[in-house]
Structure 1
Amino acid sequence: MERNPESEPALGPRRLAPPAAAALLRLAARVERDLLTAGLNAKPYEVTPSSLAGVEVEVDAFDDAVGGVWLHWRTHPSVRPDGPDSLSVRVVMAEALVRTLAALGYAAEHGDDSLRPFAVRVLAGPDD
């Protein structure tokens, strides 16, 4: 019997349709711009952290429970990533990001994704 790959469900999460993925990319760009305007160093997410401390903006363009725009606070590489200083800073900065985004008109929350500890999830922009 021949298999029809189009009739079988795909394993794992599926990528968002192009219009939805484009909307996430626009939201991420607005967040990055607005955080820069507010005085925070913000840049696109990098899997390998750079030497720049600040906010990294991640776009997860999959259609699943953890898809969306995520913010990660990166400390300078001179701060041990698993040390108490790094942990304290990440906790405080996550709260600061949620509050800063609220002041800028965004809806955001502390994430509950175990793969993104201390990350902030952006739910909507000021115009949404």
Structure 2
Amino acid sequence: MPKRRAPARPAGPCSCGLPSAYGECCGRLHRGETQAKTAEQLMRSRYSAFAVQDSAYLLKSWHPTTRPPAVGFEDDLRWDGLEILGTSDGSPFHTKGTVEFRAHYTQGGRKGQLHELSTFTRHDGAWVYLNGTSF
């Protein structure tokens, strides 16, 4: 069974950066109560899934042609914040879209960042992550 760690404070702020509580923001997508309506919303929910270590959601929201067999998490890695730098297409009316983001983290007491241009597409009607290019 995939490893999953529930957020410490489901009523606390969502780690995706929007001004909502996790339970009403990305938590709804993680629980399967709703689907992402845009590529950016899926990107934010995937970032939050990494933050709460929800491997089941990450695998479900990954395109089957590029999905890894499993998602692992490092115990000393903490996701600290997400910046959306730009989007292209990815609206409810598109079938493809990109999101450029910068994800900040701390690992082993050292700060770092992941800068990526992610590509999203629709699969069976739902937005999924296809691939990304890191900078």
TM-score range, shorter chain: 0.3 to 0.5
Q: TM-score, normalising length from structure 1?
A: 0.33
Q: TM-score, normalised by structure 2?
A: 0.32
Higher relative contact order (CA 8 A, sep 6+): 2
Structure with greater proportional strand content:
2
Where is the helix percentage greater, Structure 1 or Structure 2? 1
